[in-house]
């Protein structure tokens, strides 16, 4: 029988070994923990209509909006399934009027948003439409 203190230490060691990554099978069926690098710390926001940009500390951004989680190069909504976690380091916003012309945000009907990873890697794009 394992003493309670030893069991508690074993649980902490096992749990800490899994932190920051996911368990993935290898070719020979063994399990390994995938570790992901941390976020660089800031997200650059760019308003393409005005040319203005600013940085937002990653601590001010919800966890689910800091990274794009991929499994075999396809986005997954479940971080536990991810084989890759790519930090979002830049968000570009392009406000457009009904004719597709670039306009100030307050006159936009649509805002196209691009999320970009390190080395200008395109990650996702979204369009927001005013009701």
**Over the stretch 38-71, which tens digit does the pLDDT of each residue have?**
999 999 999 999 999 999 999 999 988 999 999 9
Query: Rounded to an integer, what distance in angstroms lies between the CA atom of residue 126 and that of residue 93?
Result: 10
Please name the helix (run of DSSP H) or strand (run of DSSP E) that holds residue 50, with its range, or none: none
41 φψ region: left (φ > 0), alpha (ψ -120 to 50), beta (else): left
**Over the stretch 83-112, which tens digit does the pLDDT of each residue have?**
999 999 999 999 999 999 999 999 999 999
pLDDT at position 20, please? 44
């Amino acid at each position: 029988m394992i003493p309670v203190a030893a069991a508690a230490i074993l649980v902490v060691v096992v749990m800490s070994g899994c932190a920051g990554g996911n368990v993935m099978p290898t070719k020979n069926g063994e399990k390994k923990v995938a570790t992901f690098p941390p976020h660089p710390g800031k997200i650059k926001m760019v308003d393409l209509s005005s040319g203005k940009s600013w940085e937002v500390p990653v601590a001010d951004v919800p966890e689910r909006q800091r990274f794009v989680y991929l499994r075999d190069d396809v986005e997954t909504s479940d971080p536990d399934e991810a084989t890759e976690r790519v930090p979002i380091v830049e968000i570009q916003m392009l406000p457009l009027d009904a004719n597709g012309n670039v306009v100030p945000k307050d006159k936009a009907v649509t805002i196209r948003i691009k999320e970009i990873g390190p080395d200008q890697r395109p990650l996702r794009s979204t369009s927001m439409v005013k009701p």
